Amino acid sequence: MARHISPLSAWDALSREYAQFRTLREKSEDRESSLKKDILGHLASRGEEDAAGHRTLATQRLRVGKKTIIGLKRQRRVSQVLNESAAVAWLEQNGLLDKCMVTQTSTYLSEDNLIGLNFSGVIPDHIFKGFYTEKESFALTLVEADDDDEDDGDDAA
């Protein structure tokens, strides 16, 4: 006896479409990640470096959606994180630890107080800078053409 197959319910259709788009997004993210890694390596070795440490390579004009792309950039980003042990050691050595230690439920180093001691000149800039470590990372960005540039590139969707 033949089994009756009913058409997809609206819920099943919605669920299927969501699952398909989610799978597509995951595959797109994986491919984008792979491309980004390759491009960042290419930019690191061949890109033109500017004063800020960014590296850029021109591309032929590419029309992507409403944007006109003329290059790719490996954008350098630097953040600073307080090296608490270095700051505490220096403050202790110079009799200033009590000025930066704060007690709530526990005692901790107050970065605000530490900055205040630097601003007031108690901690010299060259010492204060040693309390922070830099973390460098890179982002891949598109270099877009200015609106007034001619549009003579290829169209890509």
Query: Is the Cβ–Cβ distance between 154 and 62 less than 8 Å?
Result: yes
**pLDDT confidence of residue 103:** 80
Residues 89-112 have a mean pLDDT of 90
Q: Is the residue at 106 inside a domain?
A: no
Q: Is the residue at 62 inside a domain?
A: yes
DSSP category for residue 157: -
R_g over Cα of the chain: 27
Q: Is the residue at 111 inside a domain?
A: no
Q: Which domain holds residue 40?
A: 12-74+151-157
Query: Is the Cβ–Cβ distance between 134 and 78 less than 8 Å?
Result: yes
Q: What is the pLDDT of residues 86-100, one digit of tens each?
A: 999 999 999 999 999
Binned at pLDDT 50, 70 and 90, residue 108 comes out as confident
Lowest average pLDDT, out of 30-39, 69-78, 79-88, 148-157, goes to: 148-157
* Number of separate domains in the chain: 1
Q: Is the residue at 68 inside a domain?
A: yes
**pLDDT confidence of residue 104:** 76
Lowest average pLDDT, out of 61-65, 105-109, 124-128, goes to: 105-109
pTM: 0.54
**pLDDT higher than 70, residue 148:** no
Q: Is the residue at 94 inside a domain?
A: no
Residue in this structure with the two tokens 């800039």, named with its chain if needed? 125
10 Å CB burial of residue 88 (0-12, 13-18, 19+) is: middle
